[in-house]
Amino acid sequence: MASDLLVDLQDDLAGEDTPNSALDQLKLSPMEDKQWPPDDTTTPSKSETDIAEPLGQGSHLEWSNPFYDIARHQIVEVAGDDNFGRKVIVFSACRMPPHHELDHHKLLQYLKHTLDQYVESDYTLIYFHHGLTSENKPSLSWLRDAYREFDRKYKKNIKALYIVHPTMFIRTLLILFKPIISFKFGRKINYINYLSELEDILKCEQLVIPTRVRDYDEKIKASLKPSAQLPVVPLPRPRSPTSSLESPCLC
């Protein structure tokens, strides 16, 4: 399956020799409307999709604000400071609605608008990957354009990007995008397999972690617990070598 995914992504990201920019090597024009290959490991069950995530602090903007329709989904949130005093920005993939309900260009502008308030100082990004499905994934061309728009202004002071619950898909994608990701920025990307690992970075209680992300974290931790062991039945003791050399009965 991983090999098929690699072939699909390599076809989508076929290079086009352009000396001006490494980004132009990503030939995405034939697939502007094409979506990413499905990532089965992050596809929610029917019970998950039927549960609406309650809106909270993320919908603090007035309805007249031009970004209100984006902010109300709580996709991008500011979660205080980490253990090093850096502002924390959280992006939750599971809160992205289906394509027809979200203006992805406006989402990018809202993300930049949020970061603009903090990029002059050191900051940290946390990306909750679980919940990114074939229904809400933006196109690869959007991803390319997003990377292009995040110039040095945004990359200079970002100290770490934490990808929580990475899948084979996101790992493969980052490998294929490696030629356009600078070595310095690549060193800032960290994989977080369990929410408990975030405690080394910040206090998790300050994060508004989506319920689906918490449930998924519990699910994968439970799958790693050792199963109940069967009772150990002692093997019969071997006979002593001398026991077979009994003296014959002299009757």
Per-residue pLDDT of the chain (251 residues; tens, 9 = 90+): 444 444 444 444 443 333 334 444 444 433 333 444 445 444 444 434 333 444 444 456 777 788 999 999 999 999 999 999 999 999 999 999 998 899 999 999 999 999 999 999 999 999 999 999 989 988 878 887 887 888 888 988 999 999 999 999 888 888 877 777 888 888 999 999 999 999 999 988 888 899 999 999 999 999 887 655 556 666 566 665 555 555 555 55
Give a yes or no: residue 242 inside a domain. no
Give a yes or no: residue 238 inside a domain. no
The count of domains in the chain is 1
Q: Hey, is 144 helix, strand or coil?
A: helix
Q: Write out the residue range of the structural domain in which residue 203 sits.
A: 2-217
Give a yes or no: residue 160 inside a domain. yes
Q: How many angstroms separate the CA atoms of 144 and 140, rounded? A: 6
Give a yes or no: residue 187 inside a domain. yes
Give a yes or no: residue 249 inside a domain. no
Prediction pTM value: 0.71
Q: How many angstroms separate the CA atoms of 171 and 186, rounded? A: 12
CATH code for the domain in which residue 63 is found = 3.40.525.10
Nearest-5° angle of CA 160, CA 113, CA 57?
85
Give a yes or no: residue 230 inside a domain. no
Give a yes or no: residue 229 inside a domain. no
Give a yes or no: residue 20 inside a domain. yes
Q: How many angstroms separate the CA atoms of 205 and 197, rounded? A: 13
Q: How far is CA 219 from the centre of its chain?
A: 16
